[in-house]
A and B are shown apart, each in its own frame.
Chain A
């Protein structure tokens, strides 16, 4: 037990929490924007997978990191808008369109990397472009804390900045007010002359971009290549984190951190004498617990009203 606490308190462990929570944070923030604008976020998994594939491939062709990230954003925008076209314009059921998008992504990514890299498993044969690591000047030298907070990928810092930026956009600007009103009661928004469809598409563009950054982080930061199915449920865990964070950016940051801790713990405990199959279930058990607690409290609140 002592050994266990020792592990948790090491700066290396806390550093890895931040590293591991980054993709979940991006996924959860994207889900939050989708849900605020009244769009089902179920396709997030596929959108991120496509982006994580486009990152290294785009980086390879343009021979630049920026090129890779832009390619990731571009493809997730296209996927997000495709989802919007199919559901808003062609009136398909959101869940079905989302599942179709996820299935399409898992097949299409393999096809493209086979075409580009000649391998169905990963893009390791391509020269990899990785987003840069940032050392924070003053913080770096603070003992203990410096080791935890400094030296992360630039996308990680971007994700944390996004928490605040999105809070201000959603709760302090007319744009955010309109997105929220369209998502919650589109008839009311329409009755005051708001173009509902326009704000739905703005939602899709915002959420798509965030999801794209999350995908790019996976293959250009977390690791330096794309491998098949590498999102591995992080999009769905993001949905859970969004629900647990009650749709609030700050709450979402905390719930993403919780998932980060669970995930890192699983990795660390594998080095001790625990059965690894059991340990790998920890993040998912935390998900179920988190959602249950959230729903239970939510139900109580509803009863009081």
Chain B
């Protein structure tokens, strides 16, 4: 096996501009399967944009994002199919407000099942689940995930009745329900009350120990230190420094990083 086989996401010379605002100025990196990458940096440094370019939530202006051998920036790529394998967790949760908690979790699996049924040809010998079975399976998965985070009694509640921490944990298991290869976290704890940050980080740590590939944009230095395999410091649209957590926090090299760490630690 060559090392390449373990590379899940390969980013090459990624640029992104919003009008005249050049946000990403050539980012290249490789994220391996099972790796936990934590991206930190001052606001406006392009870390969220970098993350959102990984699943083409923002279309990169130039450069390439190779996910599991598929070029995501290619217009011919069915980005929806690829995104089913890349979960994303947002700062503001983005749970579907018109759906109950369990419907939120079942939504995408049922959508995919419906698509499979529609595309399935009679001549194709491999059977697909009919809609009823698919729905039952989706519900079982969703219930199991809800039990895991201890929110099974909230299954039929609407997101607006949950606390911030509960919302974010539901958002995380919503992406887990698709069984993704990687989950992208865009400042998952920044919109939470301080006392709710813990429960979300706890769940993320659990995922990390289970071997989920994670790319996390965050301001939680403790989380970075504890969970990350690699910490990346971004400034002005570039990766300024990449290192293991010990190296990164105890022996920062770039002056801009030293200054940043002295302010936040």
Tell me whether A and B are bound partners.
Answer: no
Residues of A within 8 A of B (CB): none
Chain B residues with a Cβ under 8 A of chain A: none
